[in-house]
Structure formats: C-alpha cells, structure tokens
Structure 1
Amino acid sequence: MALLSLENPVFATYVIAAALMVLKVMGQGWMTVYRMQKTNSGLASPEDVQSGLLNKAPDPAQLEINDYVDRSRRMHRNDLENIPAFWVAGFLFVMVDPALWLAQALMYGFVATRLAHFLAYATRQTHEVRATFYTIGSLIVIYMALHVLWVAIA
C-alpha cells in the first residue's frame, strides 16, 4: 500500500485532520470579516475607510481597535502561527509510517487542542487556559517532528 493513498489509514487520518485545519484557518478569517461588518468597525488599513459597496459611510473611527473584531483577528493570527507547522510535521509523520493509533491520537489530538484553544479565546478564558491548549498542541507537533527526525536519522 502506498503511503500517500487514502487506502493508508494513517494518510487518511492526516487528510481529515489537515482539511479540518484548513477549514479552521479559513473560517477564522471569515469570522473576522463578519465581525467587522456587524460592528462597522475594526478595519485594519487606512484605505479601508474609503466609500464603497460595503462601506457607504466611511469614518476614520472605523480604524480604531474594536476588541470584538480584534479578538477574532488575534485568533486567526494564532492559527497562522501554529497550524502550518502541523501541516508540515503531519505530512512528514505520514512518510515515516507510524502506528495508526499514534497518528490518530496525535493528529486528532492537535485538532481537538485547536478547537479548545478557539473556544477558550472566544469565551475570554484566562491566558493560562489558552496556554494549556497551545502547549498541548505545540508538544504534539514537536513530537511528530522529533519522531520524523529519529526515524530519518536511524
């Protein structure tokens, strides 16, 4: 069986987890846009306060930080700082043909930590709560990368 085939359950696990993370990253961007539209604020760049179809009454105050919008933007930035490393480490992990149980635990564990991180951020939990989920997800990605190195060097 080819490693990069959906017949390989490890690769199928990666494909599912990676696709969910694509949806998370893209969905978070759309959530930010929704929040900007809902509040008519939190715009990011000076050119955003020009008149147009979506901004019929531009106002420089629209550039002021709006925590409702900025919180979503911070969540998006956090995703962009963490999820690409998972995509790379997860793909490399597939290439070393790990045990299915290990791949599922790590990859679905990462997805679960990103969902938990999102919920913690969206509901304004303490930094310690968010950091716990970040740490678990980060350690998963680090483990996968170290596992790949170990197999590649051995």
Structure 2
Amino acid sequence: MTKLNEIVDMDVMTAYTFHAVILIVKMMLMSPLTGYLRMKNKAFANPEDAATFVKGEAAKKYLRTDPDVERVRRLHRNDLENIIPFLFIAFFYSFTGISETTALIHFRIFTAARLLHTIAYLVPLPQPCRGLGFGVGLLVTFSMIFQLLWNGLNLL
C-alpha cells in the first residue's frame, strides 16, 4: 500500500495546511462580524431577530439593510468565491511534485493578497488596494490551474 508521504511532499502539504487554516479562519470570522454589525446598527434581516430587541410593530423598522452590514456581506461573498476555489486548486497542486519554494510563493502571495483585500474592504482603503488584493489572488489561483492543466496534458 502506498503511503501518503510517498506521493506528496509533506513540507508542501504542511505549508498548504497552514495557509488554508489562516484563510478559512479569516473567512469564518466574517459571519460573527456580520452579526455584530447587525446588532450594533440594529439592521436585521429576519423578523424574529428584530423582535428579540424590540417588541411589537416597532420591530418592523429594524428590518432593513445597513451599508456596514452589506459591506461585510459582500466581503464574505467575495471570500467564498475566491478562497474556496483556491483551497481546492492548491490542494491538488500540492500533489504535482511542485517544489516547496514554488508552492510557498503561491500560498503566501494568495494569503497576503486576501488579507490585503479584507483590510481594504473593511477600512476602507482607496482603490486600487482592494482590486489588487482581488486580482493578485486570482492570478495566483490561475497560475496553479495552468500548471495543473499543463502537467495533466503532459501526462496524456
């Protein structure tokens, strides 16, 4: 039976795991931040949530959108659209025999880009900060996709 450490560089897998955990925790923190801002700004999406804070008909006025809440929700959605594909692609990429240095470059740049994107979204920083965070992360993911496809084509 083939052992995992015979088909994958464990240093690359360790690096992947480290960066994946950072990105997943960062993404997961958007949900409690959204909830915090909903309570702070009294902007609820569901009647039962508004009714927890205000009783009766007055609760209806708290069923509204709030710019701060919507900003964090857009950030969270952007994370879901970019981090999840990265996690899958980077996982498969880790099995291609790539050098640890090359893998670390990809993982570190993507992680840094997503952290920049988050800071730029939350602060907010002037453009092109957020756009750079998004674009660089996307380029890193496509770099790994290209290498996966190239290696796959060479195997056929």
TM-score of the superposition, structure 2-length normalised?
0.86
Larger helix share, 1 or 2: 2
Matching residue of 2:77: 77
1:51-108 Cα deviation digits (max 9, x unpaired): 33xx344622222221111111111111111111101110010010211111001011
Matched residues in 2 for 1:124 and 1:65: separation?
19
Give the C-alpha shift of residue 47 in structure 1.
Answer: 5.1
Is 1:65 matched with 2:69? no
Larger Rg, first or second structure (1 or 2): 2
In the TM superposition, 1:110-149 aligns within 5 A as 110-149=110-149
Contact kept in structure 1, 2:116 and 2:129, CA below 8 Å: no
Give the C-alpha shift of residue 126 in structure 1.
Answer: 3.1
Aligned-CA RMSD value? 1.8
Matched residues in 2 for 1:136 and 1:60: separation?
42
Q: Which runs of 5+ in 2 are unaligned?
A: none
Give the C-alpha shift of residue 129 in structure 1.
Answer: 2.0
TM-score of the superposition, structure 1-length normalised?
0.87
Question: Which amino acid is the alignment partner of residue 103 of structure 1?
Answer: A
Q: Work out the percentage of aligned pairs sharing the same amino acid.
A: 28
Matching residue of 2:45: 44
Matched residues in 1 for 2:98 and 2:149: separation?
13
Matching residue of 1:31: 33
1:108-149 Cα deviation digits (max 9, x unpaired): 111100100011111122343211110000000011111111
In the TM superposition, 1:81-92 aligns within 5 A as 81-92=81-92
Matched residues in 2 for 1:3 and 1:47: separation?
52
Matching residue of 2:6: 2
Contact kept in structure 1, 2:120 and 2:129, CA below 8 Å: yes
Matched residues in 1 for 2:12 and 2:69: separation?
37
Contact kept in structure 2, 1:110 and 1:137, CA below 8 Å: yes
Question: Which amino acid is the alignment partner of residue 99 of structure 2?
Answer: A
- Count of residue correspondences: 148
Matching residue of 2:105: 105
